[in-house]
Chains A and B, each alone.
Chain A
Amino acid sequence: MSATRKRKPIATGSDWNFAVLERFDTQLASLADEYRLDTYPNQIEVITTEQMMDAYASVGMPVGYHHWSFGKQFLAVDQAYKRGQMGLAYELVINSDPCIAYLMEENTLMMQVLVMAHACYGHNSFFKGNYLFRTWTDASSIVDYLVFARRYINQCEERHGVQAVEQLLDACHALQSYGVDRYKRPSPISAEEEAKRQDERETYLQTQVNMLWRTIPGLPEGSSPLLASLHSDDDPLGLHSGGHYPSEPQENLLYFIEKNAPLLSPWQREIVRIVRKLAQYFYPQRQTQVMNEGWACFWHYTLMNRLYDDGDVDEGLMLEFLQSHAAVIYQPPFDSPHYSGINPYALGFAIFIDIKRICEAPNDEDQAWFPDIAGTPWRETLEFAMRNFKDESFIQQFLSPKVMRDHKLFLVVDDDQAETLEVAAIHNEQGYRRVRDALATQYALSVREPNIQVAEAAIRGDRSLTLHHVQDSRRPLGRSVYPVMRHLQQLWGFPVHLVSLEEGRVTRRYHWPIEDENSTA
């Protein structure tokens, strides 16, 4: 679109002030509107370097409970920043309504505008549009919930001591990636609701747990047998049906702990719940890194170019922007000393840009590979891609041969039973599909993280807990398995067993406390 060039940019040079930022925001907002970007209201906070480091240290959460690991994070960021190994400037944005984004005071004007375009219109619209965020998070209540969580944990520290709470949090953190429901939509978290239901829940939960464990000989007499006493409403997961507890494997370890661990006190269950709820909130982010960053990069790129075309920024600012943009979407090759895996910004940006290209100017290859989208209106297609996928399916669906060629992607199979690594496929006609499948799989959380589920709680025996690790391609668990089991045992209160299974065959058993292998084998 050729707009007539205005003579006067909104501002020049690298200094900024609030009036200028507001004028840029107005401009960006009207462009975003023109492109039909649907966003939450923006809350842009101007902060100092140190505040930015604070924010980084708490995963960007505007309020967080206290824990040593956030301190460690802070020190790491602080150190890296002071040594110049890391720029802080880029972005930090919170999936909340209003959507909170931070601008660092020492950024140049260009950076502020870039971050606004990237975070306030890119990420923001992603949070509001993508199905995972829509399904799993409630942007309007997260900040309230954080406030609730922080206050609750503070109270626990006062009542039960910092150390007791810290140990509990350590254990919960170790299991937090296993604290999410992958298939079931959670009820929205609301602070008000939480507070209201909390007391109720404490007592209710405890009675549930007591009822479960009442079947163990030696507990108070006259109590009714477990199964008869439970209505189906009390047991929505069907944990009690069948002679086996739980009747189905449970993937949400923290949920299982919260509901069933015999020895936890009510406040401990509540903290388990808090960690679980926060893990659930961050779960979509872990699955949409490439898409989310790609989308934000696509829009900052598009919006900045429009600002330039409309004459709102001058050449100097644009040059500075292009340099910064190029650095962000740079993908070092695998043999570079700077290589640290695939850069999600680079990959995501490349795919979105390529979708637009396929829509606007498809060639024969595109027609063959993407008959559904070649030649369609790009804005609608992009919106569809953003809304309905996660990294895994997004790559499977939209990674084009061109992007694979541009990035020179290739697939290596590393089998410890083979002498050498083998290049299984490269970016050519024979290889495209395999490379694409493999890259998509690489982003599947189920492949990135070991598949571990609760298999059985011995409610009639020694109260031990058994987990199953469903092993794939002979990939064993790492050494950290023992420290994690120690944490798990601490939560559960009784011995914990973990069995690795591949194709139904046991490959390895782990126990905590460590017992004599021979006695159980």
Chain B
Amino acid sequence: MTYFIDRRPNAKHKSAVNRQRFLERYRKHIKRSVEEAVNRRSITDMERGEKISIPTKDISEPVFQHGPGGARNIVSPGNKEYVAGDKISRPKGKGDGNGSGEGGASNQGEGVDEFAFTLSREEFLEFVFDGLELPHLQRKPLKSLEEVKMVRAGLSRDGVPSRISITRSMREAYARRIAMRAPIKRALKDAVEALDAEERKDSVLRNPTRITELKAEIERLEKRIAGVPFIDTYDLRYHQLSAQPQPSNQAVMFCVMDVSGSMTQNHKDIAKRFFLLLYLFLEKHYEKVELVFVRHHTAAREVNEEEFFYSRETGGTIVSSALNLVNKIIEKRYPTSQWNLYVAQASDGDNWDDDSNICRDLLIKQLMPQLQYYAYVEITPHDHQSLWQEYESVVNEFPDRFAMRQIVEAGDIYPVFRELFKRRLSQS
């Protein structure tokens, strides 16, 4: 007796819980690999999962087993030249002091030092955020711009021909045909049966008039059946569309970084992580996210990512140079009607004396009206200086869209990030 069962539609991911347990158990190892990966990777390269290796000895499940040493007999296949009594010198580098290295048939995994597997992108990101001491990034719906999208919203009886739903129309037509034909078919069946009965009668008893009548009736009914229209305007159904406000699906993030002499590599790493988080955050909400890297000392320049984080060029500080450049780039390449604009600025807060109030004016008058959000992080253990104070007045002006926080050490990044994005952002 055999039963066949198609299990394919059943739940997959039966191992998901076990897999999760495994990841949980080796959290520390994995976190280390992920952190290394994050530091190694560029901001834009977050699309893939990550290959993780864990030393086999760390994940082995111990059981009692024989160690090397003593005397043992080993039967092997494939003898070509040996005869009994031959001496063979010991194979080198095998089994010495290694608990698992037994000759013979039963051992597997010899020579494999690393247990390697691949984290999916989601798992990878989870670990990225976990490294920042919060397991889940809270999703905040960003409010939409003016764009709307037409979405299907059911069916209706009228509409334009291009929106006909063929399947639904045909189904309606089919139903109508069944409904309309049913009584006629019933009458036809009765007539056919009556005719049949009449014709089966003995020729003496047959009623020729009745037969003629019935034949005419059958003919009439058949015509009526044939006459039921295949499709009627009454059957037609049209897709209904309705306008749904849509988050505009592209965004650009300006990463603005102060690279004056006081910004150490550590500062830049903190900034990088901050930008990375923001990037991932945006990426969750927009189909397309672009990055613009602007670095500045006394003058600002648009650079690529590599140069942004690792170039050693340095000098004094004029923050407004960067803001001006951002403004120019927006005008040239990112019209606000099409792009959601974000600026993230990282600095140690040190600025040229007379520049900070220029920055304030620039922000309030020119930049902020165009931006979705501006996040300023000051990476410094010291007291705030003029830039911070001037920015405070920008916060007053745009409390929902301008945010600033201080970061002292790497551990502050995530909490600060979360705070910066905790409120629902509103349109101007």
A residues lining the B interface (CB < 8 Å): 18, 21-22, 25, 29, 41-48, 50-51, 53-55, 57-58, 66-76, 78-79, 82, 98, 105, 120, 162, 166, 170, 173-178, 331-336, 339-342, 407-417, 419-428, 430-431, 435, 438-439, 441-442, 448-450, 452, 469, 471-481, 483-484, 487
Contacts and interface: CB of A to CB of B under 8 A. Distances in A.
B331 interface: no
A45 B60 CA distance: 32
A18 B6 CA distance: 9
B21 A68 contact: yes
Contacts of A334: 76-79
Contacts of B13: 50, 54
Interface in B65-98: 65-80, 82-90
Given A41-B3, A408-B77, A421-B90, A442 B104 contact: yes
Interface of B: 1-8, 10, 12-15, 17-25, 59-80, 82-90, 99-100, 103-108, 115-118
Contacts of A162: 21
Closest 7 CB pairs of A and B: A333-B78, A71-B22, A479-B99, A341-B105, A71-B18, A475-B70, A478-B67
Contacts of B66: 449-450, 475-478
B88 A43 contact: no
Nearest to A417: B71
Contacts of A421: 87-90
Given A51-B10, A66-B18, A478-B67, A44 B3 contact: yes
Contacts of B74: 411-414, 438, 442
B22 A449 contact: no
Contacts of B100: 478, 480
A45 B3 CA distance: 8
Contact of A44 (B5, B67, B104): B5
Nearest to A99: B2
B67 A412 contact: no
A139 B130 CA distance: 45
B83 A336 contact: no
23 contacts: A46-B5, A46-B6, A66-B21, A71-B19, A71-B23, A74-B22, A76-B117, A78-B117, A105-B8, A177-B63, A334-B79, A336-B78, A411-B74, A413-B71, A413-B72, A415-B71, A416-B68, A422-B86, A423-B83, A426-B82, A442-B105, A478-B99, A480-B99
A333 B76 CA distance: 8
Given A29-B2, A178-B64, A46 B7 contact: yes
Contacts of B21: 66-68, 71, 162, 166
A484 B64 contact: yes
- Most interface-central of B5, B73, B82 (chain A CB within 10 A): B73
A173 B74 CA distance: 28
A471 B64 CA distance: 13
- Most interface-central of A70, A120, A175, A435 (chain B CB within 10 A): A70
Contacts of B61: 69, 170, 173-174
Given A68-B21, A71-B19, A74-B15, A452 B64 contact: yes
A51 B17 contact: no
Nearest to A471: B70
A414 B78 contact: no
Given A68-B18, A336-B78, A414 B72 contact: yes
Given A420-B90, A422-B85, A423-B83, A479 B75 contact: no
Nearest to B66: A475
Contacts of A177: 63-64
A512 B4 CA distance: 52
Nearest to A441: B73
Contacts of A175: 63
A66 B8 contact: no
A72 B54 CA distance: 11
Contacts of A21: 4
A58 B15 contact: yes
A100 to B, nearest CB: 9
Contact of B117 (A79, A335, A439, A479): A79
A428 B21 CA distance: 53
A411 B392 CA distance: 85
B87 A422 contact: yes
Contacts of B89: 420-421
B12 A51 contact: yes
Contact of B22 (A46, A68, A420, A487): A68
A92 B63 CA distance: 25
Given A412-B75, A478-B68, 4 more contacts: A46-B8, A341-B107, A414-B73, A478-B65
Contact of B88 (A66, A341, A420): A420
A420 B85 CA distance: 11
B3 A42 contact: yes
A410 B65 contact: no
- Most interface-central of B2, B14, B76 (chain A CB within 10 A): B2
Given A407-B77, A408-B78, A426-B83, A74 B18 contact: yes
Nearest to B118: A79
Contacts of B25: 68, 166
A232 to B, nearest CB: 32
Given A54-B12, A416-B70, A422-B88, A342 B59 contact: no
A75 B18 CA distance: 10
A449 B3 contact: no
A341 B104 contact: yes
Contacts of A422: 85-88
A105 B59 CA distance: 33
A413 B73 CA distance: 5
Contacts of A68: 18, 21-22, 24-25
B22 A480 contact: no
B63 A174 contact: yes
A342 B71 contact: no
A450 B64 CA distance: 7
Contacts of A45: 4-7
Contact of B76 (A412, A477, A483): A412
Nearest to A479: B99
Contacts of A477: 64-67
Contact of B78 (A22, A71, A178, A331): A331
Contacts of B17: 66, 71
- Most interface-central of A174, A426, A427 (chain B CB within 10 A): A426
Contact of B4 (A44, A170, A441): A44
Contacts of A419: 87
A24 to B, nearest CB: 10
Contacts of A74: 15, 18-19, 22
A474 B67 CA distance: 10
A29 B3 CA distance: 12
Contact of A480 (B6, B65, B73): B65
Contacts of A450: 64-66
A187 B104 CA distance: 35
A409 B76 contact: yes
Contacts of A452: 64
Nearest to A77: B15
B20 A71 contact: yes
A342 B22 CA distance: 32
A305 to B, nearest CB: 21
B75 A409 contact: yes
Nearest to B51: A79
Contact of B115 (A48, A70, A76): A76
Contact of A475 (B71, B80, B82): B71
Contact of A442 (B2, B73, B80, B115): B73
A412 B73 contact: yes
Contacts of B75: 342, 409-412, 435, 438-439, 442
Nearest to B91: A421
Contacts of B85: 422-423
Contact of A416 (B1, B69, B106, B118): B69
Given A66-B18, A67-B21, A79 B78 contact: no
Contacts of A411: 73-75
Contact of B59 (A72, A332, A413, A469): A72
